[in-house]
A and B are shown apart, each in its own frame.
Chain A
Amino acid sequence: MVKKILIKGGSILGETKMDILITDGLISEIATNIESVSTEIIDATGFVILPGFVDLHTHLREPGRENSETIATGSLAAARGGYVAVSAMANTLPVADTSAIVEQVLAIGKSVGLVDVFPIGAVTKGLEGHELADLGSMAHSNAKVRVFSDDGNCVSDPLMMRRALEYVKQFDGVIAQHAQDPRLTEGAQMNEGAVASTLGLKGWPAVAEEAIIARDILLANMVGSRLHICHVTTKGGVEIIRWAKSQGMKVTAEVTPHHLLLTDESANSYDPIYKVNPPLRTQSDIEALREALVDGTIDIIGTDHAPHPVESKECEWQNAAFGMVGLETAFPILYTTLIKNGRISWQRATEVMSSAPARIGGYSNHGRTISVGEPAHIAIINPSGKFVVDRAKLASKSKNTPFHGMEFEGIVVATLFNGHLTHKVGN
């Protein structure tokens, strides 16, 4: 039986109201008024239709840390957030540094079937920074890995970084760098600055991030490779990337929703729910990051969704785990901080949430336009909808959100993945 879904009355990218007919997972018709005997109708009156979101930075924890998250629970959280594709970071147990592991992650993702799960391969074996992981095998495996990252760790050895950048050119790979000089951040707990000094928590200097960004931009430029900077957090990092782009260098950059919103002042409570790597910075960094997202210096929103069990956060700050969940709150934060006030258009929002991450990751089936013949990956947004984050209601297995109790606007009311409804508010 042919499965049909009709989305009625939504405005595509915030522009003209159109009906969208989906047939067997593909967009089959777009017109002002489609009459259809379809089985399912979604009333999208007053809503905005966007291409489904793509996350380039997701920790799904499986295999090995299923007490925090599984591919199934993480996929559901992603669908709730409007995502149709996520990129599973390599810091699992065992580490995703061989074709066997990435193929396993791919297979589980497919069987869950709520989003496309694209495995990211480790750059170095065991994320240890000593030997290159099986980059080519992972690239040529069924998982067709194109994004490589030691995220959680920095590829700090400059020679290792150079070789990795050069090597992945043969299959148009990209190295996603977690920019953190390890020596400058030994035992570091939070942004180095006035707040850390008062709280007696060991500082994490901005330069530990910026020095690696600068070095890697120069390395990537020398060898002609693609470099992606994960979770930029500092004004200085933004300036360096802006300069590199002005020189035509091939670098892309990401910012997380939490770094667009929260500052190091939140550590005053000593509540480790605000402990994250890289750390929350200052208000002037937030302003620089927002501006960079507006002007294109920063290309994408990456969630750095990092689930942790309760006991990893219900303790002293210095003993707590780094990280926060983010898939289910990413879009509302972007909407509330930058879309609603008009700083970025729906077009730009589509780039940072969907088309740019898909392009960087080489996910050719994603980040496409909403037009006839395209796969029906769609997020439906209610811009005037408001909601208060309730950690108990998160689909993620872990509840470590710093946004509990905060009100945001811009609700993801429905998500379609290959024409299947994977999320609908009220369902």
Chain B
Amino acid sequence: MKHLLSINDLDKDFAITILDTANEMARVSEGPVKKLPTLRGKTVVNLFAEDSTRTRISFEAAAKRLSADVINFTAKGSSISKGESLKDTAQTLQALGADAVVIRHPASGAAHRLAQGRWMNGTVINAGDGTHEHPSQALLDAYTIRKHLAGGKGDLKGLRVAIVGDILHSRVARSNVLLLTKLGAEVVLVAPPTLLPHEVQAWPVKISYDFNSVLPTVDAIIMLRIQQERMSDLYFPSDREYSTLFGINSERLALTKSGSILMHPGPMNRGLEISAEVADSAQSVVVEQVANGVSIRMAILYLFIAGSQELVNG
């Protein structure tokens, strides 16, 4: 296995191996020396053709903790903003001797285009492509859920997870649906019908338009960011109505199962899909998701670049 483009690139066992490896990586990050020599001499390029803060920093931190050389290549101020094609960028990366490219791109399938092999060699890690997938986010979400609700090991059998909001445009939702169901969890999507993909019935999920009835039945709730421009595209009447029907606030939090956790991939729109009190509540694991993101990305880089599936400490 060479590239991580989609959760479909992982079988269940390997997905669990990534989560287990992340456990080991977390131990490294908690230790006095937060660094492993594993990727010494390897070059990792962060190719970010779309604005991103946490994912880029997370991958950068992960690569550095594994002693890789990191080159950051972002849209602003680079040749990408001057209209350079993805092909030319890829060929540049090839010339630079990149062992791996972590790509964030506004176009769905951009990571696939890099990985088809005609423009560059090297491992391609999809860090979010358009409205397609965001595999490392799903892995860190699964890791977070497993840590809190499944003893930090094995799969997610018996757990029920709600993903709430703009499913249609969400790469986080697509990757999470694939991964969480692969790991045995049950997934329920909560959204207005306008923000669900066409033929979503074919997905291995349940659908609900009634957030309140779902809340007491789930162990984890993943809230998705709602983009302001969706309103002008007629997906819903107003942000007020959206917030009333599909946002989470203290009243809704009171309906949740005890011990359940609340997640958000960030950045949050406080007051829109999530109220400030809820974002900062004890059930919220949003900040922890960020920390877990580094461990997961260390595991991904290690397993995909070093080409070994053995655990770090054997």
- A192: interface (CB < 8 Å): yes
CB of A318 within 8 A of CB of B130, answer: yes
A193 and B201 CA atoms in complex are apart in Å by 11
CB of B73, distance to nearest CB on chain A (Å): 16
Which 6 pairs show the lowest CB-CB distances between chains A and B?
A: A270-B109, A200-B132, A197-B197, A316-B107, A200-B131, A200-B108
A381 and B132 CA atoms in complex are apart in Å by 45
| Beta-carbon contacts under 8 Å, A228-281 to B | 269-271
Q: Which residues of A contact B116 (CB under 8 A)?
A: 269, 271
Interface string of B190-211 (1 = CB under 8 A from A): 0000000111101100000000
Interface string of A287-331 (1 = CB under 8 A from B): 000000000000000000000000100111111000000000000
CB of B200, distance to nearest CB on chain A (Å): 6
Q: Which residue of B lies closest to A186 (CB)?
A: B233
Q: A197-B198, A316-B105 are in contact. Are A270 and B112 (CB under 8 A)?
A: yes
CB of B199 within 8 A of CB of A315, answer: no
Q: A199-B132, A200-B130, A200-B132 are in contact. Are A317 and B108 (CB under 8 A)?
A: yes
Q: Which residues of B contact A194 (CB under 8 A)?
A: 198-199, 202
CB of A67, distance to nearest CB on chain B (Å): 16
- Specify which of B85, B86, B87, B113 lies most central, judged by the most chain A CB atoms within 10 Å of its CB: B113
Size of interface on B: residues with Cβ below 8 Å to A: 24
- A203: interface (CB < 8 Å): yes
Q: A200-B132, A270-B113, A319-B107 are in contact. Are A314 and B198 (CB under 8 A)?
A: no
Q: Which residue of B lies closest to A267 (CB)?
A: B109
| Beta-carbon contacts under 8 Å, B97-138 to A | 105, 107-110, 112-113, 116, 129-133
- B171: interface (CB < 8 Å): yes
A168 and B110 CA atoms in complex are apart in Å by 46
- B174: interface (CB < 8 Å): yes
CB of B264, distance to nearest CB on chain A (Å): 20
A214 and B105 CA atoms in complex are apart in Å by 39
- Specify which of B85, B108, B109 lies most central, judged by the most chain A CB atoms within 10 Å of its CB: B109
- 30 of the cross-chain contacts (CB-CB < 8 Å) are A193-B198, A194-B199, A194-B202, A196-B198, A197-B199, A197-B200, A197-B202, A197-B203, A199-B132, A200-B108, A200-B131, A201-B130, A201-B131, A202-B131, A269-B112, A269-B116, A270-B108, A270-B112, A311-B85, A314-B87, A315-B85, A315-B86, A316-B107, A316-B109, A316-B110, A316-B113, A317-B107, A317-B108, A318-B107, A319-B107
A319 and B86 CA atoms in complex are apart in Å by 10
Query: Inter-chain contact count A-B, CB under 8 Å?
Result: 64
- A198: interface (CB < 8 Å): yes
Q: Which residue of B lies closest to A187 (CB)?
A: B233
CB of A136, distance to nearest CB on chain B (Å): 40
Q: Which residues of B contact A197 (CB under 8 A)?
A: 197-200, 202-203
Q: Which residues of A contact B197 (CB under 8 A)?
A: 196-197
| Beta-carbon contacts under 8 Å, B53-99 to A | 85-87
> Which of A200, A316, A317 touches B174 (beta carbons < 8 Å)?
A200
- Specify which of A200, A205, A271, A315 lies most central, judged by the most chain B CB atoms within 10 Å of its CB: A200
Interface string of A50-71 (1 = CB under 8 A from B): 0000000000000000000000
Q: Which residues of A contact B174 (CB under 8 A)?
A: 198, 200
Q: Which residue of A lies closest to B168 (CB)?
A: A197
CB of B140, distance to nearest CB on chain A (Å): 20
A194 and B85 CA atoms in complex are apart in Å by 29
> Which of A192, A200, A271, A316 touches B86 (beta carbons < 8 Å)?
A316
CB of A199 within 8 A of CB of B202, answer: no
Q: Which residues of B contact A316 (CB under 8 A)?
A: 86, 105, 107, 109-110, 113
Q: Which residues of B contact A196 (CB under 8 A)?
A: 197-198
* Known interface pairs A192-B198, A193-B199, A315-B113; 5 further A-B residue pairs with C-beta atoms within 8 A, sorted by A's residue number: A199-B108, A200-B131, A200-B132, A316-B105, A316-B109
Q: Which residue of B lies closest to A201 (CB)?
A: B108
CB of A2, distance to nearest CB on chain B (Å): 54
CB of B108 within 8 A of CB of A318, answer: yes
A115 and B203 CA atoms in complex are apart in Å by 51
CB of B302, distance to nearest CB on chain A (Å): 27
A199 and B174 CA atoms in complex are apart in Å by 9
Q: Which residues of A contact B110 (CB under 8 A)?
A: 316
A296 and B253 CA atoms in complex are apart in Å by 62
Interface string of B17-61 (1 = CB under 8 A from A): 000000000000000000000000000000000000000000000
CB of A405, distance to nearest CB on chain B (Å): 15
CB of B7, distance to nearest CB on chain A (Å): 11
Q: Which residue of B lies closest to A205 (CB)?
A: B198
CB of B234, distance to nearest CB on chain A (Å): 10
CB of A197, distance to nearest CB on chain B (Å): 3
Q: Which residues of B contact A198 (CB under 8 A)?
A: 174
CB of A200 within 8 A of CB of B113, answer: no
A200 and B202 CA atoms in complex are apart in Å by 15
A317 and B129 CA atoms in complex are apart in Å by 12
Q: Which residues of B contact A193 (CB under 8 A)?
A: 198-199
Q: Which residues of B contact A314 (CB under 8 A)?
A: 85, 87
Q: Which residue of A lies closest to B233 (CB)?
A: A186
Q: Which residues of B contact A203 (CB under 8 A)?
A: 198
